[in-house]
């Protein structure tokens, strides 16, 4: 078994729902980052890319028919480069990177592009086929943008609560109140705005279709403004549009290769450990806790060794729950902002946190880092990186 390394990573800016990327097809967004991350390697012959593994949570619209293969064909890469699409909902592109690392470690591949894409704006409505011909009643279009749809009636009702309601339950269980959630959200916006101002994202984000920066960051966010927002899921709830991630469009990719891959690049980080975990679907927000602990065990280190964490902020409450469970210093978490500010296009977020972590480790001169993400329907993923730059 060899080692797998991250050599480069980039993403599109993340557009808000119905925003600047509303007219951008997901397969085009995916093609853009696939082509661009390959071009980051000056010595890489595109024909030598062994595989393209992309994540996508929806797959019901323009991202259907194996969007990874569509991205290869649209990107101008040789038609001999294969592509496969994986779906672990919010964790899809982190799963893609994990799969890519396994391909490299086993020697099946030397160079793999991994990443993911989502257009939540362009996610279609779907209409199930009727059980009988010529139904007399009305039919209902179902949105595929987010959450449960076409639910199996045998599924236990408590499993199928909305994502927001699930996290309200988590807030009740753990006693994480509105004020603390809002403070966490404000910090996300401030950290993201500062990172952009400092140039951190200049070489991680590729302008596309007229959008140069993440569309949802609010540098002027404050606890006072967030306190004025109404609860989104319960009349007396704690979760609002301000302390949860928005709906977004975007794509992200990383270049994964072996130690002897001829890329003309030095590796940034070694993929040192991986972890997947699952629990009751309604408690999905804390699934990263066990996933990260498993990844650390696989890497042979502990939380005391970790100098940076990138945790996808689906909701402030679940992020805080994870940090409390890990008992880590919040100062090392999402130092360049998180999904509450940057956005959460489902299939792209895992690759975003992974590429951000690799750069944070290099810039902060830290050796070990953790990238983690919660996943609807009760799952979590995590990857441990070792800085080798």
Active site amino acids: 90, 344, 374
Locus of tokens 């270049």:
255
d(CA 176, CA 173): 8
- Name residue 388's beta-bridge partners: none
208 DSSP assignment:
B
Closest residue by Cα to residue 170 from 314, 364, 302, 382: 314
Give the DSSP per-residue string, 307-349.
EEEEE--SBHHHHHHHHHHHT--GGGB-TT--HHHH---GGGH
Q: Are 291 and 353 in contact (CB under 8 A)?
A: no
Q: Are 118 and 26 in contact (CB under 8 A)?
A: yes
CA quadruple 172, 174, 179, 184: dihedral, nearest 10: -130
d(CA 39, CA 325): 40
Q: Which two tokens stand for residue 86?
A: 């994986």
Q: Are 252 and 10 in contact (CB under 8 A)?
A: yes
SS3 content of the chain, % helix, strand, coil (to 5): 35, 20, 45
Q: Are 346 and 90 in contact (CB under 8 A)?
A: yes
d(CA 313, CA 330): 13
Helix (H) or strand (E) holding 84: strand 83-86
Q: Are 382 and 295 in contact (CB under 8 A)?
A: yes
Give the DSSP per-residue string, 210-275.
TB-S-TT--TT--HHHHHTSPPSSSTT-S--TTSB---EEEEEEEEEE-TT--SSS---EEEEEEE
């Amino acid at each position: 078994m060899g080692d797998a390394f991250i050599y480069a990573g980039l993403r599109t800016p993340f557009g808000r729902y119905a925003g600047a990327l509303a007219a951008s097809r997901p397969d085009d967004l995916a093609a853009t980052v696939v082509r661009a991350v390959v071009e980051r390697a000056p010595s890489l012959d595109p024909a030598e890319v062994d595989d393209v593994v992309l994540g996508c949570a929806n797959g019901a619209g323009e991202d259907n028919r194996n969007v990874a293969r569509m991205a290869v064909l649209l990107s101008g890469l040789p038609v001999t480069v294969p592509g496969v699409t994986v779906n672990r909902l919010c964790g899809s592109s982190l799963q893609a990177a994990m799969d890519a690392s396994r391909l490299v470690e086993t020697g099946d591949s030397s160079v793999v592009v991994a990443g993911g894409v989502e257009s939540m704006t362009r996610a279609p409505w779907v209409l199930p086929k009727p059980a009988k011909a010529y139904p007399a009643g009305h039919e209902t279009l179902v949105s595929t943008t987010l959450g449960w749809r076409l639910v199996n009636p045998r599924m236990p009702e408590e499993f199928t609560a909305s994502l927001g309601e699930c996290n309200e339950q988590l807030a009740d269980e753990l006693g994480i109140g509105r004020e603390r959630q809002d403070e966490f959200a404000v910090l996300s916006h401030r950290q993201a705005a500062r990172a952009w101002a400092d140039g951190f994202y200049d070489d991680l984000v590729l302008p596309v279709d007229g959008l140069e920066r993440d569309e949802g960051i609010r540098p002027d966010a404050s606890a006072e403004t967030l306190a004025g927002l109404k609860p989104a899921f319960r009349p007396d709830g704690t979760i609002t549009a301000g302390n949860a991630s928005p709906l977004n469009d975007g794509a992200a990719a990383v270049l994964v290769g072996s130690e002897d891959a001829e890329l003309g690049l030095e590796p940034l980080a070694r993929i040192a450990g991986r972890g997947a975990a699952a629990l009751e679907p309604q408690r999905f927000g804390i699934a990263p806790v066990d996933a990260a602990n498993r990844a650390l065990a696989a890497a042979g280190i502990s939380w005391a060794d970790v100098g940076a964490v990138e945790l996808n902020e689906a909701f402030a409450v679940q992020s805080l729950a994870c940090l409390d469970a890990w008992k880590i210093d919040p100062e090392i978490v999402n130092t360049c902002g998180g999904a509450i500010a940057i956005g959460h296009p489902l299939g792209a977020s895992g690759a975003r946190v992974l590429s951000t972590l690799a750069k944070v480790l290099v810039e902060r001169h830290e050796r070990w880092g953790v990238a983690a993400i919660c996943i609807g329907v009760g799952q979590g993923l995590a990857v441990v990186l070792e800085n080798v730059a």
